[in-house]
Structure 1
Amino acid sequence: MKLRRRRTAADGDWDEAAVLDEPAAPHAAEDDETGWQASVAGLSGMARLARVGIWVVIIAGPLLGSAALLSSAAPSQGVAKTAPETRQASAIGPSGFAQLFVAAYLEAGEGTEQNLAPYYAGSVTLTHAPGTRTATRTAAISAREVSPGYWSVTVAASIAAKTSKDSYRDAGVQYYQVAVQALGPRSAGGPSATESAVGYTAVSLPAQVAAPEALRPGDLGYGTSRGSGASDPATQTAAAFLNAFLAGDGELDRYTSPGVELQPVTPAPYAEVKITGVEDNSGDSAEQSVPADGAKRRLLVTVDATDSDGNTFPLTYALTLQARAGRWEISALDDAPALGPSSTPSAVAGTPSPDSDDSATDSPSPSVS
């Protein structure tokens, strides 16, 4: 209980009567200096809200962190995904192994079966004499990967066959298919995506197969044939350039466009080069005079190249010429003759291989290459 005095309005005296004041509300208090009034109940409510907010933050923290982690791990929209690079297997190793196997197989005979052991682990029994056939040259003409590390290789072999007179005849080119398993990385023809030991083995003896179909080339991109006439300034430039290129007659830069760097064949293999035919893409009505600077012309030039012993060999060169300062200059030694706009090779019948003793010679046994 609190004893209060009440002051009268008339004289300002305090009423001495004691009155019982109501107990102060537990939720109210008065600040004598500032006059601010604070509610205890309100303060309690705010404290409870603060505690609830803290618990919300604590509980939500891991969830927000997980969401942020997933968001950072997800790919951004608009950024293309890069597919993992698949390394293509190389056929060089299996092809070379198949060539060696075919050469050893053709040379082997009764008593020399062990020469095939480095290539084929199976049992082999041969009844013909060693050296009955010899591969003078071999070349892998196709290689197909049947499954990772497993290859089918076709080898062409130029065969020399021994006759009853111990001479050799040309047995033509024959074809053999070899099944090869490879061990190692893809760069060696194997199945592994990483670097590992390399090895090859044939799973069977070679299988002789038919020759691939011969083809006739399609049309080339040279519509005009000018023969071997030297009156055309372009032909004159080509002749001088090829004599410098093959016979060392003069400097190449006298006949090439500025900035074109070509190296002559050294040492010069021929003493003389003579043009025997020229085809070009300029049309039958092309003027013989040199056109304006920058004009281009493509030539297919056939030559007879004669060496110091008087032997003559035919060669063909594809050249691009460009006009400058009133004359033609060589602007490129083309990698290959130009093809026509719709050039497609066509199949022709193959030529049979010689098989008679008429082609026999008394030459010694040729070496395997």
Structure 2
Amino acid sequence: MFRRRRAVQGDWAEPSVQDEAVGHHTAEDDETGWQSSVAGMSGMARLARFGIWVVIAAGPLLGSAALLSSASPSQGATKTAPQTRQASDTGPSGFAQLFVAAYLEAGEGTEANLAPYYAGSVALTHDPGTRTATRTAAIGSHEISPGYWSVTVAASIAAKTSKDSYRDAGVQYYRVAIQAIGPRSAGGAIDTGAEVGYTAVSLPAQVAAPEALTPGGLGYGTSRGSGASDPATQTAAAFLNAFLAGNGELDRYTSPGVELQLVAPAPYTEVKITDVEDNSGDSADQKVPADGSKRQLLVTVDATDSDGNTFPLAYALTLQARAGRWEVSALDDAPALGPSSTPSAVPSAPTTSDDSATSSPSPSVS
């Protein structure tokens, strides 16, 4: 028993010795059977231990793989449920504008001009050219379902008079229902595809003008009027005269490295400031601050052309201080908005009856 115990211990501590015992098999071993059995059991034990260590070592990896597998969608699910692309309204909107223009121009005998846009039967009784769209613009669109659009078109109308002259009939609004085929990028219902087409499902519907809005507050707050004593106002005036009227070099009034192209040929001969708002917080402060300090301006001007006509314009500028003077560092894309600035509806005009309060009259279609 003592020898057997030592042999087993030797197998755990010295694998090379056990390998030698297995390799040198004797007849005595066959008779007794115990030495070969112990050696075989020892080899199996080592194999089992190795397998256990592999499982232990791989445990964290297997756990991470299982976690990622449960947290992420399977590859098959990704293929069967691809992300839907957002549809573009450019095609349907452009088609609706063309349809409205053709519809307004058409008359008795020219109904066929509507065929490229609408396949339904149309019978018109007024003369062609009774109305003409001098300008159209899509001002709203809504995808009712994939490939099916509602587009609102604004049209500036010129109406023919009894003397065959035209009068301005104002802006009128038409809603058009459009079906599209093709990819989502063309307003259609599929992700990919080469064929693109549009058709109106009915004649246009004339609708009321959209609700007017007033803009939210701007992010300036300090009014300096039209006075020319403020150094920032002086820089803005000189810059805009160079920019719009070609009076002086533009780079004299811009920060180093700022590249702006003046309007050429110059459309105006003179630019005069009528109002300045900024974000300085103090209209009395006219000192130029330390280098690098910035100020945002909203500058309103009257620009006069060579014929003496004057037109109001507004420019958002960012100025930066350098060497004791203000320089234009940016011609901003849009005026700065105040915090939490949102547009609001214009208050409705007072009405004289309940009926007028609940309905909006719209120009009639002749």
Relative to the length of structure 1, the TM-score reads 0.74
Q: CA deviation at 1:350?
A: 7.3
Residue 40 to residue 226, structure 1, CA distance change in 2 (3 Å): same
1:322 and 1:329 in contact (8 A); partners too: yes
2:319 is the counterpart of 1:321: yes
- 1:88 is aligned to 86
- 2:251 is aligned to 253
2:180 and 2:188 in contact (8 A); partners too: yes
Q: CA deviation at 1:209?
A: 0.7
Q: CA deviation at 1:131?
A: 0.6
Q: Considering only CA atoms, is the larger Rg found in Structure 1 or Structure 2?
A: 1
In the TM superposition, what whole-angstrom CA distance separates every residue of 1:144-182 from its partner, at most 9, and x where no partner exists?
110110000000001111111111111111110000000
Could you tell me which of 37, 43, 50 is aligned with 2:28? 37
Cα distance in 1 for residues equivalent to 2:94 and 2:26: 104
Cα distance in 2 for residues equivalent to 1:86 and 1:328: 50
In the TM superposition, what whole-angstrom CA distance separates every residue of 1:173-226 from its partner, at most 9, and x where no partner exists?
111000000010011000111122000000000001111011122221221222
Residue 35 to residue 202, structure 1, CA distance change in 2 (3 Å): closer
Aligned length: 301
Letter in 1 for 2:30: S
Cα distance in 1 for residues equivalent to 2:343 and 2:171: 22
Letter in 1 for 2:254: T
In the TM superposition, what whole-angstrom CA distance separates every residue of 1:47-87 from its partner, at most 9, and x where no partner exists?
xx99xx9xxxxxxxxxxxxxxxx999978469755974431
Q: Name whichever structure is richer in strand by fraction.
A: 1
Q: CA RMSD in A?
A: 3.0
Cα distance in 1 for residues equivalent to 2:90 and 2:26: 99
Letter in 1 for 2:185: S
Percentage of identical aligned residues: 79
Letter in 1 for 2:176: V
1:173 and 1:353 in contact (8 A); partners too: no
Letter in 1 for 2:205: A
In structure 1, the residue corresponding to 2:149 is in which secondary structure? Answer: strand
2:103 is the counterpart of 1:105: yes
1:304 and 1:312 in contact (8 A); partners too: yes
2:282 is the counterpart of 1:284: yes
Structure having greater relative contact order (Cα 8 Å, sep ≥ 6): 1
Residue 310 to residue 36, structure 1, CA distance change in 2 (3 Å): same
Relative to the length of structure 2, the TM-score reads 0.75
Letter in 2 for 1:107: E
Cα distance in 2 for residues equivalent to 1:273 and 1:341: 31
Cα distance in 1 for residues equivalent to 2:362 and 2:87: 38
Could you tell me which of 171, 190, 193 is aligned with 2:169? 171
Cα distance in 2 for residues equivalent to 1:343 and 1:218: 5
2:208 and 2:362 in contact (8 A); partners too: no
Cα distance in 2 for residues equivalent to 1:197 and 1:101: 20
Could you tell me which of 198, 205, 208 is aligned with 2:206? 208
Unaligned 5+ segments in structure 1 are: 1-33, 54-69, 356-369
In structure 1, the residue corresponding to 2:143 is in which secondary structure? Answer: strand
1:213 and 1:349 in contact (8 A); partners too: no
Q: Name whichever structure is richer in helix by fraction.
A: 2
- 2:183 is aligned to 185
Letter in 1 for 2:164: D
Residue 312 to residue 332, structure 1, CA distance change in 2 (3 Å): same
Residue 208 to residue 101, structure 1, CA distance change in 2 (3 Å): same
Unaligned 5+ segments in structure 2 are: 1-24, 45-61, 350-359
